[in-house]
Structure 1
Amino acid sequence: MKVRILGCSGAICGVGGGTTSLLVDDDILIDAGTGVGELSDAELAHIDHVFITHSHLDHTAFLPLMVDAAAEYRTQPLTVHAPQVTLDILHAHLFNNLIWPDFTVIPSAAAPAVQFAALEVGHSMSLRGRTLTALPAQHVVPAAGYAVDSGAGSLVFSGDTTTNPVFWAIVSAMPRLRHVIVETAFPDAHRATAVAAQHYCPSLLAADLHDVRFDAELLISHLKPVHAAQIMRELNTALHRFDPHRLDAGRVFEL
């Protein structure tokens, strides 16, 4: 199994600065932020499943656009997975015939371009030997993270979250764990904003990880570009035992 980072920025910031999207092999996306723009129409046509962490645009903006771009090349609907509450938000506020056509009934209700499939936190599903599990997240809208397990190794992605000890208890007990991707959007100088927006800043993440142990690479995503260097300096001081590294678009993990 390969996981390719299409985008991981906390805001758009030019070439290579797309927002969150991870490509698993050639047929699964985790989130559909502007990083999806790195894919060709042919690559988009190969994607059968999209797992959404939450409804915010930096994680969903290219979902409606990719449906339209690939529609002529596909014979089966694209399946969008998320907790039911998030699917309801996407249907009500995105695929609503106002912001974008309702592709859950286009070209017909019997043969739609998009179908929704609920995956609740704590539940897993297997797709061609790969297991995806929805993990708890704490954000200003309903949210989830995801673990992807090939059977030989696993990668965890927090999605957008703030203080979340339940998530870390699950992660620290996970077998075959190779990589943990966690967001940290703000520096500690903006801790009040991080708390209000329910994102991590370095001190909040360090508090959550104080008594946590795992043997896996810790990677930081969703940094606000203007603060990225400061955030990483603070994380490397606060979490030196984990040796955290900034996640970069284009990186490929083999599991």
Structure 2
Amino acid sequence: MRTTAFLADDDILVDCGTGVGDLELDALRRIDHIFITHAHLDHIVSIPLMIDSVGDSRSVPVTVYASAETIRILRSHVFNWLVWPDFSAIPDRHRPFLRFQPLKVGESVKLGARTITALPAHHTVPAFGYCLDGGDGQLVYSGDTAYSSELIAAINKVPRLRHLIVETAFSDEQHGLAVASRHLCPNMLTAMLDEIHGHPEVHVSHLKPGLGERIMAQLAAYRGPLRPRQLEQGQVLEF
């Protein structure tokens, strides 16, 4: 089982779950930027081990971008010298292995010809989605979210949207659990898709183990213009 991690080009990670473990050490060394949606373990678990593995073989720190609250959680509960060393102070604060960069909703980071913008999401902790703009096209990743009119409005402002990666963690039979945990189930996702103006390819992620076939069968009954498909491990999306 792999948890959420997306590699953009060879130097950017969006979330840092256990999927990072599929990368060889040389590939890990090339990652300069990590954009985190929120502080839940399945999205951040590989940050400490990755920094420990590559920190002393790099000449510049790895930058972790996230909301101020997510950074506070990471500092307080992970990089606190109790659970894990504070790599923002190793080997010293002038030359750290890791640096944190806070973002706000709507704020963008320019990395060469690429732009990554934080989008609103609605989860049990402060959370972002992200829009990745490669210059010719754009991809939006919802992160963990419940139905969010703010996220839908942000998606509808993306002019060249080619791909939408959106979570659907639970089946429709678990609608109450989805609402309580602020995730999506198929009927909530399809309501969201009905409000999207563009025609991106829709890739469904974050399906709970054992529920994938049921969730995708329920989404297959959707008759709207967008056709959700399950995102596959190792799938490459171009934009």
TM-score, normalized by length of structure 1? 0.91
- Partners of 2:200 and 2:107 lie apart in 1 by 23
Match of 1:4 in 2: none
User: Matches of 2:103 and 2:23 in 1, distance apart?
Assistant: 25
Q: Secondary structure at the match of 2:188?
A: helix
Spell out, residue by residue over 1:93-128, the C-alpha distance to the aligned partner (whole angstroms, 9 max, x if none): 110111111111111111111100011111111101
Please tell me whether the aligned partners of residues 55 and 141 of structure 1 are also in contact (alpha carbons under 8 angstroms). yes
Equivalent positions of 1:44-83 (< 5 A) are: 44-83=28-67
**What per-residue deviation string (whole Å, max 9, x for no partner) do you get for residues 192-231 of structure 1?**
1111110000111222233332111011000012111110
**Residue 163 of structure 2 corresponds to which residue in structure 1?**
179
Report deviation, 1:240.
Answer: 4.4
**Residue 87 in structure 1 maps to residue 71 in structure 2:** yes
Equivalent-residue separation in structure 2 for 1:83 and 1:117 (angstroms): 8
Structure 1 pair 239–103 and aligned structure 2 pair: CA distance change class (3 A): farther
State the distance in 2 between where 1:65 and 1:74 align: 15
Query: Equivalent residue for 1:170?
Result: 154
Q: CA deviation at 1:75?
A: 1.1
Aligned length: 239
Query: Is 1:205 aligned to residue 204 of structure 2?
Result: no
Q: Does residue 156 of structure 2 align to residue 154 of structure 1?
A: no
SS at match of 2:159: coil
Q: 2:84 aligned with 1:104, yes or no? A: no
Q: Is the 8 A contact 1:159 1:182 kept in 2?
A: yes
**Are 1:221 and 2:184 an aligned pair?**
no
Instruction: Give, in whole Å, the separation in 1 of the partners of 2:156 and 2:53.
Output: 40
State whether residues 148 and 156 of structure 1, in contact with CA within 8 Å, keep that contact through their aligned partners in structure 2: yes
Q: Which has the higher contact order (CA 8 A, sep 6+)?
A: 1
1:133 CA displacement: 0.3
Once the two structures are TM-superposed, the CA of residue 239 in structure 1 deviates from its matched residue by: 5.1
Conservation of the 8 A alpha-carbon contact between 2:13 and 2:35:
yes
Contact 2:65–2:102 under 8 Å retained in 1: yes
The equivalent of 1:39 in structure 2 is 23
Question: Aligned in 2, Cα 1:188/1:105: closer, same or farther, shift over 3 Å?
Answer: same
1:144 paired residue number:
128
Once residues 23 and 234 of structure 1 are traced to their aligned partners in structure 2, the CA distance between those partners, rounded to angstroms, is 29
Shift >6 Å, 4+ stretches: none
Q: For residue 252 of structure 1, give the secondary structure of its aligned residue in structure 2.
A: coil
* 1:118-167 per-position Cα deviation (integer Å, ceiling 9, x unaligned): 11111111101100000000000110010100110111000000010111
Conserved in 1, the CA contact under 8 Å of 2:60 and 2:97?
yes
Aligned partner of 2:107 in structure 1 is: 123
Gaps of 5+ in 1: 1-12
TM-score between both structures, scaled by the size of structure 2 = 0.97
The question of whether the paired residues in 1 share the 8 Å contact of 2:56 and 2:97 is answered with no
Q: Residue in 1 aligned with 2:177?
A: 193
Deviations 1:165-195 (A, max 9, x none): 1111121221111000000000011111111
What amino acid is aligned across from residue 146 of structure 1 in structure 2?
Y
